[in-house]
Amino acid sequence: MKWSLDLGISVVLTVIVWSGFYFTFPNEPLGAVETVFVLVVFYALVKLVRLAKKHLASSEKANLE
């Protein structure tokens, strides 16, 4: 269920960014497409971080062996 955790983290980050923009520019909040775009970007970033961590862990394990 890691994908749901990643998605959850991405959604939380998107909500934070959306609110930040909303309070800074209340006349032009992020639209639906823009919000989805931000969500996709965050999801990709979270996935990348997870992959990087996995890669680091496996290389450390290989070093130890």
Does 39 participate in binding another protein (rule CB under 8 A)? Answer: no
Selection from 44, 41, 20, 40 nearest residue 30 by Cα? 20
Q: Which of 33, 62, 63, 64 binds another protein (CB under 8 A)?
A: 33
Does 26 participate in binding another protein (rule CB under 8 A)? Answer: no
Name the DSSP letter for residue 29. Answer: -
Least spacing, CB of residue 50 vs another protein, in Å: 22
Q: How far apart are CA 57 and CA 52, in angstroms?
A: 9
Query: What's the gap between Cα 30 and its chain centre?
Result: 17
User: Which stretches of the chain bind another protein, using CB under 8 A?
Assistant: 20-21, 24-25, 27-28, 30-31, 33-34, 36-38, 40
